[in-house]
Structure 1
Amino acid sequence: MDVHDEVLDLIGAWALDACDPDEAAGVDAHLSGCATCAAEARRLRAAAGWLAADRVMPAPPALRHRVLATAQAARPAALMRTLVGAYAGQADLLDRLLGAVRADDWARPDPRHETVGGVVAHLAGNDAMLAADLGLAVVPLPDGPAEEVHAAWREQSRVIVEGLARRDDGLEQRVRLAHTGPPPLRPLREALVQRAFETWTHLDDIGAVVGRGTTTPPPEQVRRIVDLAAALLPGALSGAEVGTVRLVLEGTGGGEWTLPCGPGDDTTIYADAVEFTRLVANRRGAHSLTHSATGSPAVSTRVLHVAATLGCD
């Protein structure tokens, strides 16, 4: 399926402002250079106006997120492109950063993987695990200069992106998630969110080491990361009487998530969405995350401690 066909798939949703930001940006870019699609877009926008759909009050962010997530689940081809595109975007940012680092930066120390080169090797290994589960080519990791490790990671990322670009389904295929312990088997759609998440996390790890600072993903990526954490947390808390946990997250990618975590009283945790994803990546601690809670303080502390164990390293 080429870009023109992809836009035709999405243009109806675009006319009703029902695309996520990644999809809407792709449609806008195509319309600027395609007269055929631009004419169709004008026709559909006009139809939306006749229905008064262009004067509907914006939905609350949490409701909009739930509705879009349900719609995307029913449109797996578009969701596949969105998830692969998010991963490819973070990989491109990391590739650019690695291309700009100095030769001596590769040996700078990293607290988890010894050096910057070790971070890239770790990331390449997790990408290779996903490629193997998908039946795609696994790029050997060289035992040589860090620049060669960078090239191998970049090629492995390309193999995944191009391999999945030819698939319109398979998001429910079970694959291994990267994990500090035995890799759990989860749907591909979750693994793709994790690949974008881990790539962003290590982009910031390396940026901090070489003095480039941190970045923030688009809001929809932040929401997908929290969705993944919310899907994993009940299982990680299995056996603990923590009750129903509600996450109320503010800022970029904010919203509300309800987690049924067994018997017990209800607890609500309030925090910043991006900072919560950094907690899930184990780049923040349960006690250092700025947050507030209602309900049981012991439960909120336990939930945050467990959330910090969900990352890849």
Structure 2
Amino acid sequence: MPPEPTGPPRIPPPRPAAEDCGHWPGALDAGIPAPRRPGAGPVDPPAAVPGPPPAAPGPEPTPEPAAESAPEPAAEPAPEPPPRPAAVPRPPSHDLLRSLLGAWALTACSPEETAAVEDHLNECNSCAEEALRLREAVGLLHSEHSLDLDPLLRSRVLAGCLGRRPARIPVPGWAAAYDAEAARLDALLRDMGEAEWRAPVRLKWFDGQRLTGRDTTVGGVIGHLMVVDGLIAASLGLPDPLGAPAPGSPSARTEAYWRTGPGAVHGAEPPGSVRELWREQGHALVRTVSFAGRGVSDLDVPYGDFTLPLCDAFLDRAFACWVHAGDIAEAVDYPYEPPASAHLKAMIDLCARLLPGTLAERRRAGLAAPPRQLVAAGSPGRTLHLEVEGIGGGDWYIPLDSPAALASPEEEVAHIALDGEAFYQLAAGHVPPAEAAAGQSGDIEAIRDVLYATASLSRL
């Protein structure tokens, strides 16, 4: 058994305060070399055994004097390790760059992200195509044009769909203009509030001798359209909105509705409620003639003092929708575009075909000059050349001496040229015939009679 030591006990040196400290506390005084890092090179003197892991930071303990021992030679300072090379950043992944395309299109990326995305677009075709689509979409957000839907959007979409696959029960061509114009007017009415439904509207027409008008509201205009459309509904066996018995002329029906109709002028119901009734009736009219077949187009529709074939009655109601939609748009300060070219031409053609009969009615009333020639039915007589310029325009030859006479370009005695807007304003009764902007040549009396007959096509 070894003998017990007789001197004072040896006290171990204290722990270092931090791992990167060059010496142990108190080691310099005691001559104890600092521990060397692994791999720092050959060690001449034996390295001191490292102590336990450093304790939590706290007050530095007071070093105690080390036991007396023989001084050891001082260790050489350890050489500094070579600097590590800087880490090269990994390029962003494809998925990350693709997720930044939306922000890049909105110019919301940082400069570093923008550079990374644009470098990636030079290498990735799919992301480049997506970025182009996003940039075009951003352009729509800053469009200088109105973002309201184009009123002709519905007709164009339907035309495209029917061009790819025709409807099983197609709408007859002569009813397509009414279907489109009613839909355009309905789009104008869809978002109106109660105040707009009560907005004042001035209806204007030519009574045969002078311009006249009537004040109503937006609701009153739609009620007027509904009860006149009821003439077609009654002819097809559908319910008449006025019930039975009902007046036969458009003006009498309108006055009756304005006196008693719900929500038109002074009704207790909301003024916008008439829109649903009018639109439901319009759908029923189009649906009925679509299922009825070809022979229904020749069915007579009574208008009080005159009758129209069903096909012409639908064109007449399409023209009324366009005219009164313009009246409403003017009242609520909203832009409204003209009909599609094919529909507009069909409406102008109807007006041109009605002019000989209207001119004959004015002669019987003493409002037009008598015919210059007596012609038999089907024989050529004097002819006026009506030229309408612009969208939907064309050339029409109007017989002047008899509605049954054949119009012949060889018998032309006068020529009237109007643009589409001027003809619309004249046929709608919005401008006096004497003030209609028109190019004129030939028989002045014949020109005057035809201009007045065109204005007389308008009515309440």
Pairing 1:19-168 to 2, within 5 Å after superposition: 28-30=160-162, 32=164, 81-112=172-203, 113-139=215-241, 142=262, 143=267, 144-168=269-293
- Give, in whole Å, the separation in 1 of the partners of 2:181 and 2:155: 16
1:25/1:155 CA distance change after superposition, 3 Å? closer
Gaps of 5+ in 2: 1-153, 204-214, 243-260, 364-369, 373-381, 403-410
- Separation (CA, whole Å) in 1 of partners of 2:285 and 2:163: 28
Indicate the residue corresponding to 2:29 in structure 1. none
State the AA in 2 paired with 1:255: G
CA distance in 1, matches of 2:280, 2:160: 29
In structure 1, what residue type is equivalent to 2:278? W
Give the root-mean-square deviation of aligned CA atoms: 2.6
Structure having the higher Rg: 2
**Does the C-alpha gap of structure 1 residues 126 and 300 become closer, same or farther in structure 2, counting only changes over 3 Å?**
same
CA contact (8 A) 1:171 1:189 kept: yes
Distance in 2 (alpha carbons) for counterparts of 1:97 and 1:25: 18
Offset of residue 198 of structure 1: 0.5
**Is the Cα–Cα contact under 8 Å of residues 194 and 225 in structure 1 kept in the other structure?**
yes
The number of residue pairs the alignment matches comes to 245
Residues 25 and 275 of structure 1: is their aligned pair in 2 closer, same or farther, counting only changes over 3 Å? Answer: farther
CA 1:232–1:31: 2 relative to 1, 3 Å: closer
Say if 1:129 and 1:176, in contact at 8 Å, map to a contact too: yes
Aligned AA (2:325): L
> In the TM superposition, what whole-angstrom CA distance separates every residue of 1:119-149 from its partner, at most 9, and x where no partner exists?
1111111111110112123345534321111
Secondary structure of residue in 1 paired with 2:190: helix
Q: Are residues 155 and 293 of structure 1, via their aligned partners in 2, closer, same or farther at CA, if it must alter by over 3 Å?
A: same
TM-score by length of structure 1 reads 0.71
SS at match of 2:398: strand
Structure showing greater relative contact order (alpha-carbon pairs closer than 8 Å, 6 or more residues apart)? 1
CA distance in 2, matches of 1:26, 1:96: 15
- Residue 232 in structure 1 maps to residue 354 in structure 2: yes
Select the residue among 380, 390, 393 that pairs with 1:254.
Answer: 393
Aligned to 2:69: none
Equivalent-residue separation in structure 1 for 2:344 and 2:223 (angstroms):
25
**In 2, Cα distance between equivalents of 1:281 and 1:228:** 13
Letter in 2 for 1:109: P
Q: Which runs of 5+ in 1 are unaligned?
A: 1-21, 38-76
Once the two structures are TM-superposed, the CA of residue 300 in structure 1 deviates from its matched residue by 1.3
Greater share of residues in helix = 1
C-alpha distance in 1 between matches for 2:413 and 2:357: 17
Which AA in structure 2 matches 1:227?
D
User: Partners of 1:176 and 1:277 in 2: how far apart?
Assistant: 24
Give per-residue Cα distances to partners, 1:181-229, cap 9 Å, x unaligned.
x341111111010111101111111001000123211111121112111
